[in-house]
């Protein structure tokens, strides 16, 4: 096998042996790259973060908001492998290492209040948009999108599913987008920690191509988030707050 040859910041090429329909061949595969960054909060080191090397300011801003450390960000600076976020951080900050290897923070989200409603066609449209060029090339990243004002305003992809949500939330924060009027679409599973990210950000609707867990559903119920999972093709499952999908037929 040959060593990696970098292609820009996002991917590199590696040779491999592919078995397909009983035949074997050598392939030159495009593989997603992962990077490690040092995250500082108000000039105090917080943790190392494994992520894809794009939307780093958005990643830092979104992390602070999605983990419930602050409601807004004052400023952010990225240099080399450092992300420095300045905000009115709440204390204490009790860190935990989640099963995915991501760093999280113990915070209880507040109730999400929003008058936002969407349609069934919006769910299908958002779901279709949950992919990026690097996902199509490599299949090695998670993706997220942010829907606001009837449009997809940003897409993100990352080696970490938590990071994709942080990035789109950070995009909204740094551009003054009202998060209570947004929908997040994503590829990642929705355990309690992932649902809590959207709740901390005040985002009322999550649409995921993947499954939830019992605690993820309980978190969505407790925080007033509409949780839509298994959104694939012409189907989806609504676990909580179905009233936000205004044309959803009534059960008979």
> Which active-site residues does the annotation give?
102
Contact between 209 and 231 under an 8 Å Cβ cutoff? The reply is yes
Could you tell me the CA-to-CA distances from 72 to 137, 152, 193, 228 in Å, in that order?
Answer: 35, 22, 20, 26
**Which residues have C-beta within 8 Å of that of residue 122, sequence separation ≥ 6?**
147, 183
Taking the CB of residue 42, how many other CB atoms lie within 10 A of it? 13
Take residue 170 and report the two structure tokens written for it: 């950070």
> Rounded to an integer, what distance in angstroms lies between the CA atom of residue 5 and that of residue 117?
47
Nearest to 55 by CA among 146, 148, 157: 157
How far the first Cα of the chain sits from its last, in Å, is: 59
User: Hey, what are 215's tokens?
Assistant: 């605690």
In whole angstroms, give the CA distance from residue 43 to residue 198.
26
The strands making up 11-20's β-sheet, listed across from edge to edge, are 5-7, 11-20, 23-32
Other Cβ atoms within 10 Å of 63 Cβ, number: 31
């Amino acid at each position: 096998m040959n060593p990696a040859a970098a292609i820009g910041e996002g991917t590199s090429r590696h040779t491999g042996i592919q078995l397909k329909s009983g035949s074997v061949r050598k392939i030159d595969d495009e593989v997603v790259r992962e990077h490690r960054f040092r995250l500082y909060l108000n000039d105090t080191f917080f943790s190392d973060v494994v992520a894809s090397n794009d939307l780093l300011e958005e990643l830092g801003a979104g992390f602070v908001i999605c983990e419930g450390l602050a409601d807004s960000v004052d400023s952010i600076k990225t240099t080399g492998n450092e992300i420095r976020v300045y905000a009115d951080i709440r204390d204490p900050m009790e860190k935990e290492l989640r099963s995915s290897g991501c760093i999280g923070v113990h915070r209880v989200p507040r109730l999400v209040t929003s008058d936002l409603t969407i349609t069934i066609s919006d769910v299908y449209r958002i779901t279709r948009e949950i992919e990026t060029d690097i996902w199509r090339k490599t299949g090695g990243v998670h993706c997220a999108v942010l829907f606001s004002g009837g449009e997809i305003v940003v897409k993100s992809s990352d080696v970490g599913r938590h990071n994709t949500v942080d990035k789109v939330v950070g995009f909204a924060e740094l551009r003054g987008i009202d998060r209570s009027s947004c929908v997040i679409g994503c590829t990642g599973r929705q355990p309690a920690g992932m649902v809590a990210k959207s709740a901390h950000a005040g985002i009322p609707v999550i649409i995921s191509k993947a499954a939830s867990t019992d605690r993820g559903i309980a978190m969505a119920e407790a925080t007033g988030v509409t949780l839509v999972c298994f959104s694939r093709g012409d189907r989806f499952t609504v676990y909580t707050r179905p009233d936000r999908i205004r044309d959803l037929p009534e059960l008979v």
